[in-house]
A = this chain, B = another copy of it.
Amino acid sequence: MLIIASILDIARLAGVSKTTVSKVLNHQYGVHEETRKKVWQAAAELHYTPNIAARALVTSKTGVIGVVYDSFKSPIYNELAGQLESQAQKLGIHLVFCSCNQQQASKLHYIQYFMGGAADGVILFGSAEDDDPVIERLMAVKFPFVVIEHRYDQLQVPNVLVDNVGGAKQAVQYLYKLGHRHIAHVTGNLRHQVAVDRYNGFKEAMQTLGLEPASDDFIHTDGSIGCGQLAAQALLERKERPTALFVFNDLIAYEMIDELHRAGLRIPEDMSVIGFDHLVGLLSFKPGIHNLTSISQPLEKMAHAAMDMIMSVVSGQMPEPISQQFKPVLQEGGTCQKRELHS
């Protein structure tokens, strides 16, 4: 039922051979002006659409890079998507995105789809701990890929990431300078490398400062929507509360602030809160009570680096350096407050 015309159809209509049509459609050299016109006219008339499957089959190039997400739900991913798009547009290549909705099987399927000729390379986004089979697979067949957010210390994997450990340390040091001594950490899903890194950064910074967080100064979440409410409730139940919170990311921080607020706590008077990601700019259109203090990621630079990397991997050379780490920056908002030390 589909009436997509092929080169052969054009050739017949224009009264020339397939080769000539192909030449006109691509290289455009060594063809008579007359013939060329006829071919273009026939192509237009037939609404010719090149079959990229067939073309990819013979050239093994599609001009497309696939991007695989864990989920479309996180605003930070969306922001990065926009940045990647801009870069891609400049480079004249095209990006297609997909989300595996946290399902590993689905992720593998998409990878296969891309490996099997739908893309020249993939950008993997996220740091789920069970990503390893996917990475192994890609490495085994030497399919071009770049990872964003995950960290591979052993393997030679092209990746761009943010120094999450350092970012967490910055947060702790900042709170310390403000006079806070009892600081709690609300973790993300520790099955993701990002969450582990921020967790470790927190612990290290605390130890360096001579502070020993108690076990209940770690409030664990799974990073899902609504987990901030639960975390806040857990916090509220304690008799002795910390004076400051370093929260895995802004989403959770906002959720917690909302819940703490509801319970009558004032931010930052009763509790200082610092997040991660610095989504405040992104959400500026929604006027909030609080302008969250947060650690920001240089998304534009990261997108740029990731695109450069994938392009060079696709063209056959390992990027130099193979891994790029970016420094996050603390952005002061209005959710942290100085604290007198004689508390």
Query: Which A residues are within 8 Å of any B CB, using their own CB?
Result: 1-5, 47, 49-57, 60, 62, 64, 66, 72-73, 78, 81-82, 85-86, 89, 94-99, 101, 103, 106, 109-110, 112-113, 115-118, 137, 140-143, 225, 228, 251-252, 254-255, 257-258, 261, 283-290, 316
- Cβ contacts under 8 Å, A286 to chain B: 254, 283, 286, 288
Cβ contact within 8 Å between A47 and B1: no
How many subunits of this chain does the assembly comprise? 2
Cα(A96)–Cα(B225), bound, Å = 24
- Cβ contacts under 8 Å, A52 to chain B: 53, 112-113, 116-118
Cα(A69)–Cα(B143), bound, Å = 28
The chain B residue with its CB closest to the CB of A60 is B2
The chain B residue with its CB closest to the CB of A251 is B285
Q: Given known contacts A52-B118, A53-B117, is B141 in contact with A47 (CB within 8 Å)?
A: yes
A126 to chain B, nearest CB (A): 15
23 pairs across A/B with beta carbons < 8 Å? A2-B60, A2-B142, A4-B141, A47-B141, A49-B112, A50-B112, A53-B53, A53-B57, A53-B116, A55-B116, A64-B113, A72-B78, A72-B81, A81-B99, A85-B101, A96-B97, A96-B98, A96-B113, A118-B118, A255-B285, A283-B283, A288-B289, A289-B289
Q: Given known contacts A60-B2, A225-B285, is B116 in contact with A51 (CB within 8 Å)?
A: yes
Cβ contact within 8 Å between A3 and B142: yes
- Cβ contacts under 8 Å, A97 to chain B: 96-98
Q: Given known contacts A51-B57, A94-B109, A97-B98, is B287 in contact with A261 (CB within 8 Å)?
A: yes
Cβ contact within 8 Å between B94 and A96: no
- Cβ contacts under 8 Å, A287 to chain B: 254, 257-258, 261, 288-290
Cα(A165)–Cα(B26), bound, Å = 47
Cβ contact within 8 Å between B57 and A115: no
Cβ contact within 8 Å between A95 and B94: no
